[in-house]
């Protein structure tokens, strides 16, 4: 009997759940091609061969989109609309044709060189969303190059039922071929929270772990795996004891999911009748189904950055309006809070030349960048107001440090409104302006700010970072990043008090909102609106429905009297834990 060594892998869990079963390895080879020189008389024939491959690829992705729409849903099929657009992108197509003509090289070599260059530019932006979008570009390119090589694009492969898919990466073309009943989960070397693997896994309600770096070097077809998408763990060749343990975990997770499904239509209300509003944070339309499935009461934070990054020209008003309208229509009468551009100048340097900054976190970013370049702000305000015609428009300004930025933003809003009216454009019935409280100066001036705006939204991630002067991604000081530091709690309490005094709602949309223990602490401090990743709404709602408000308020009042983060953490764990 062969005894196999057990291997443990840690990655990023992007879709929760626990499954056990055999691996099915998908080979996703690159599209590198050798260079072949062309005679002058062959150049135009090569251009025609390339254009023919592009057209055939466009036909294939259109048909694949129809298949996915029938098998899964229209929103997941929309990715293939984006692929079809890529296959008409002049930047991609014209550069390739120009390269064939100028370098007199074969289409495969030139096309892959252009693809790789654009993909590297996207990945270099430093934003996870655009880094992941480069995988869509590579997916399209592999399809075209196979056609140039006269190879069949196999959009249907026999996968044994119950398989856990293992791959270096899974683009839309690979994931589209799977049937829900065939597979139980996804495991990939690369990928992040916005990768197509993550999006598809959530849509299919399948566990997934990405970013494992090298797991395909170890796993072979048929190898037995344990996949824990909640904890981001994969175990290859587990022992029987591990199998027994994780089978029980799988049973518990499925029970938990059933419980969460039952909670979907129930209010987030404490045992003594205090109602809490739970909303979702999203950044792309593919998440709307998950928002609905989790029973979110609105979108408390819609990130708009993806329109402006990873491109060589600014987005048009029309394309923004179309996306914003889609979200507003899907949410009906529920509120959607649109946060204006929240990036540093370095991330959109391809469209707006910016000087290098020694400390970009404290530099020209977010609302500072937009006010320094008003065309950026107006380029967002116009399509937002057009999309919200006849509705309420909720606008959220990031990184506000004082009253001046609010006044300047209102002036731009006034001018945009007058301009649209002169054009005969229908306007929103009301524009509600809110600010992110994520800089200590804003928290300290919360009483003044609350009188000037319609709502406040606390971004706890940056508030903690700026209050404690800790870069949370710096391993040398990351341990000092602490949401329960007394200074942070006092600032949050100050903002809540200011909001209540002015009659303005206060939301927390940072990571604290999605953590069960921290969410209960926030409620005890007076927060009545929380916005979080859609998948976290169920556990937070269940916790809220298990406690009394008067108990949370008593705990929070006691924690505000403590002196250190460790004291707060210890007391919080002990006292909140006793409520369940």
Name the token pair of 207: 């566990």
Instruction: For residues 73 and 316, give the distance between their C-alpha atoms in angstroms, rounded to a whole number.
Output: 28
Name the token pair of 73: 């849903």
Torsion, CA 122, CA 128, CA 130, CA 132, rounded to 10: 90
β-pairing verdict for 233-236 and 7-10:
antiparallel
Name the token pair of 451: 């009188």
Instruction: For residues 534 and 282, give the distance between their C-alpha atoms in angstroms, rounded to a whole number.
Output: 8
Residue pair 112/143 in contact (Cβ under 8 Å)? The answer is no
Name the token pair of 379: 């380029």
DSSP labels for 241-276? HHHHHHHHHHHHHHHHHHHHHHHTTS--B-TTS-B-
* Degrees, nearest 5: CA angle 400-406-408: 120
Name the token pair of 445: 């001036």
Which of these, 321, 319, 284, lies nearest to 302 by C-alpha position? Answer: 284
Please name the helix (run of DSSP H) or strand (run of DSSP E) that holds residue 523, with its range, or none.
helix 516-524
Which of these, 151, 131, 137, lies nearest to 92 by C-alpha position? Answer: 137
| Catalytic residue ranges | 196, 509
**Dihedral sign from CA coordinates of 502, 505, 511, 515:** positive
Q: Is 561 helix (H, G, I), strand (E, B) or coil?
A: coil
**CB crowding 245-280: b at 16 or more within 10 Å, else e:** ebeebbeebeebeeebeebeeeebebeeebebbbbb
Q: What are the residues whose beta carbons fall under 8 Å from the beta carbon of 481, sequence distance 6 or more?
A: 464, 465, 468, 470, 472
Which of these, 151, 54, 168, 59, lies nearest to 111 by C-alpha position? Answer: 54
In DSSP terms, 188 is beta-bridged to 167
How buried is residue 164: exposed, middle or buried, by Cβ count under 10 Å (0-12/13-18/19+)? buried
β-pairing verdict for 224-228 and 430-437:
unpaired
β-pairing verdict for 208-210 and 183-188:
parallel
Count of beta carbons in the 10 Å neighbourhood of residue 15: 25
- Could you say which DSSP state residue 83 is in? H
């Amino acid at each position: 009997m062969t005894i196999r060594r057990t291997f443990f892998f840690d990655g990023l869990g992007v879709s929760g759940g626990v499954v056990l079963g055999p691996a099915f390895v998908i080979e996703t080879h690159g599209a590198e091609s050798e260079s072949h020189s062309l005679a002058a008389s062959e150049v135009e024939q090569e251009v025609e061969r390339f254009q023919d491959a592009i057209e055939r690829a466009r036909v294939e992705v259109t048909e694949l989109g129809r298949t996915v729409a029938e098998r899964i849903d229209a929103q997941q099929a929309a990715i293939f609309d984006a692929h079809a657009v890529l296959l008409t992108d002049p930047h991609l197509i014209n550069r390739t044709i120009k390269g064939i003509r100028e370098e007199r090289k074969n289409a495969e070599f030139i096309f892959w060189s252009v693809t790789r260059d654009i993909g590297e530019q996207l990945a270099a932006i430093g934003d996870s969303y655009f880094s992941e979008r480069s995988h869509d570009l590579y997916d399209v390119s592999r399809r075209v190059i196979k056609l140039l090589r006269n190879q069949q694009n196999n959009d249907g492969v026999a996968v044994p039922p119950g398989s856990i898919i293992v791959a270096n990466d899974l683009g839309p073309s690979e994931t589209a071929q799977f049937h829900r009943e065939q597979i139980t989960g996804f495991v990939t070397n690369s990928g992040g929270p916005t990768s197509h693997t993550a999006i598809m896994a959530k849509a299919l309600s399948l566990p997934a772990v990405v970013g494992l770096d090298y797991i395909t070097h170890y796993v072979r077809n048929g190898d037995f795996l344990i996949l824990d998408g909640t904890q981001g763990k994969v175990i290859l060749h587990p022992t029987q004891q591990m199998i027994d343990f994780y089978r029980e975990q799988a049973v518990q997770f499925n029970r938990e999911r059933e419980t969460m499904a039952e909670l979907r239509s129930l209010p987030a209300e404490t045992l003594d009748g205090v109602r809490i509003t739970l909303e979702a944070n999203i950044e792309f339309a593919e998440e709307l189904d998950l928002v609905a499935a989790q029973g979110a009461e609105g979108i408390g934070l819609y990130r708009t950055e993806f329109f402006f990054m990873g491109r060589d020209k600014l987005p048009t008003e029309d394309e923004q309006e179309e996306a914003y309208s889609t979200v507003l229509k899907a949410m009906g009468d529920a509120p959607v809070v649109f946060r204006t551009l929240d990036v540093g100048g370095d991330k959109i340097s391809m469209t707006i030349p910016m000087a290098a900054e020694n400390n970009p976190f404290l530099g020209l970013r977010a609302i500072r960048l937009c006010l320094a370049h008003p065309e950026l702000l107006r380029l967002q305000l116009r399509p937002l107001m057009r999309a919200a015609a006849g509705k309420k428009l909720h606008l959220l300004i990031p990184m506000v440090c004082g009253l001046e930025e609010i006044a300047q933003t209102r002036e731009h809003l006034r001018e945009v409104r007058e301009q649209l009216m002169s054009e005969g454009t229908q306007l929103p019935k009301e524009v509600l302006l809110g600010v992110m409280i994520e800089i200590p100066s804003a928290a300290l001036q919360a009483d003044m700010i609350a009188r000037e705006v319609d709502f406040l939204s606390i971004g706890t991630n940056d508030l903690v970072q700026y209050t404690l002067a800790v870069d949370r991604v710096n391993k040398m000081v990351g341990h000092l990043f602490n949401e329960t530091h007394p200074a942070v709690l006092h600032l949050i309490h100050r903002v809540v008090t200011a909001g209540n005094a002015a009659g303005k709602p206060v939301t927390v949309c940072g990571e604290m909102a999605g953590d069960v223990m921290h969410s209960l602490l926030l409620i005890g401090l007076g927060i009545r609106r929380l916005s979080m990743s859609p998948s976290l709404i169920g556990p937070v709602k269940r916790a809220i429905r298990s406690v009394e408000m008067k108990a949370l308020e008593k705990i929070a009042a006691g924690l505000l009297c403590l002196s250190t983060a460790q004291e707060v953490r210890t007391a919080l764990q002990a006292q909140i834990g006793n409520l369940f």
